Amino acid sequence: MLTWKNILTFADNGNLAPDRAVRKTDQEWRAQLTDEQYRVTRQHGTEAAFSSSMCSLFEPGKYACVCCGTLLFDANDKFESRTGWPSFTQPIKENSIAYHGDSTHGMQRIETTCNTCDAHLGHVFPDGPVPSGLRYCMNAVALQKVASSKETATFGGGCFWCTEAVFQQLRGVLSVESGYSGGTVDNPSYKAVCEGTTGHAEVIQIMFDPEEITFKDLLQIHLSTHNPTTLNQQGADRGTQYRSVIFAHNDAQKELAEDVIAELQDAFDKPIVTEIKSFDVFHKAEDYHQSYYENNPNNRYCQAVISPKLAKARKLFEEKLKK
């Protein structure tokens, strides 16, 4: 967490390096921005107080630079300052904002700019609420609200008790549900799926935050934690319901799945047989299948099959685990 002391040090001695840089000509900024956005962000302007409804907006989500899209603030750090400008106690990352001494208008202030594209954002003051004590006083016109992003991935990799447990431990994974997909029967029972007559695979449906974990990460973890080279079989479990499959929710997921399979092929002795299919519908499995490993850790199957899989995943993807 940044404090006023950190801010003064950045302003005096230089700012942290940004993750990326965006540079455009004046002409390009003029073409991209509205007159008011241009005046504030590129000409160090200030919008009129109480001119934006963003001041009274407190829904979850993130705020990005209107010029370059870099995420700057989280709605969790926004507070009601009654100043007429949207106010935050902390930036989303320590290097997302740059600080500069500003002695214009007969005042000594600290100007804040987007560290990625140098857009003027506003000023920061040491009179904010605890714990940081900071008040980032921002021009609403310099910011754009970004809704919380969520994406869905649907994978089959054998018994869903196992695959669900692997993904539940990852940071950025918001939820994992066990169910059935790829078949022809609506709302199938576990018994029907196990008989192999429904066409469904046992799958898990993962909701994730792509800012914390990418679809590519999930693909790599999926393909490394089951055997993608055995057709319709995982260990002792045999049948089409145990097939290795990726149900793509869009073209981008389909292309990434093809790429990651090609990249990982060298790591396997046999050809990867994982199917890539367009996602159609997910049928959630019966309640007793949800979080099965968590609820039945002493079950013999869990001990024999899931625990070693989890240990392997924890070792391979240590930096992606929930703390």
Question: What distances in angstroms separate CA 188 from CA 128, 181, 196, 200, one per listed residue?
Answer: 55, 10, 11, 8
Residue (20 or 284) nearer to Zn ion, CB = 20
Least CB distance from residue 294 to Zn ion, whole Å?
42
Cα–Cα distance measured from residue 314 to residue 225, given in angstroms and rounded to the nearest whole number: 10
Least CB distance from residue 96 to Zn ion, whole Å?
9
Active site residue 117: no
Determine the Cα angle at 228 with ends 223 and 233, to 5°: 135
Query: Which of 40, 55, 68, 285 is close enough to bind Zn ion by CB under 5 A?
Result: 68
Determine the Cα angle at 269 with ends 249 and 263, to 5°: 40
Least CB distance from residue 68 to Zn ion, whole Å?
3
Among residues 55, 67, 114, 137, the one annotated as catalytic is 137
Is 138 an interacting residue with respect to Zn ion (CB under 5 A)?
no
Query: Which of 7, 92, 117, 173 is close enough to bind Zn ion by CB under 5 A?
Result: 117
Is 203 an interacting residue with respect to Zn ion (CB under 5 A)?
no
Coil, helix or strand for 316? helix
Query: Which of 2, 67, 140, 285 is close enough to bind Zn ion by CB under 5 A?
Result: 67
Q: Are strands 201-208 and 173-181 parallel, antiparallel or unpaired?
A: antiparallel
DSSP code of residue 16: P
Active site residue 67: no
Residue (87 or 96) nearer to Zn ion, CB = 96
Least CB distance from residue 69 to Zn ion, whole Å?
7
Burial track 26-65 (b if 16+ CB lie within 10 A, e otherwise): eeebeeebeeebbbbbbeeeebeeeebebbeeeeebbbbb
Query: Which of 33, 97, 110, 119 is close enough to bind Zn ion by CB under 5 A?
Result: 119
Question: What distances in angstroms separate CA 162 from CA 53, 205, 264, 297, one per listed residue?
Answer: 48, 13, 21, 11
The residue among 47, 139, 146, 131 whose CA lies nearest residue 89 is 131
Query: Which of 114, 162, 203, 310 is close enough to bind Zn ion by CB under 5 A?
Result: 114
Cα–Cα distance measured from residue 58 to residue 102, given in angstroms and rounded to the nearest whole number: 29
Q: At 144, list the tokens.
A: 């754009």
Query: Which of 40, 65, 142, 213 is close enough to bind Zn ion by CB under 5 A?
Result: 65
Is 98 an interacting residue with respect to Zn ion (CB under 5 A)?
no
Among residues 159, 162, 194, 302, the one annotated as catalytic is 159
Q: Which stretch binds Zn ion (CB under 5 A): 49-57, 63-71, 128-136, 197-205?
A: 63-71
The residues annotated as belonging to the active site are 137, 159
**Residues contributing to the site for Zn ion (CB under 5 A):** 65, 67-68, 70, 114, 116-117, 119
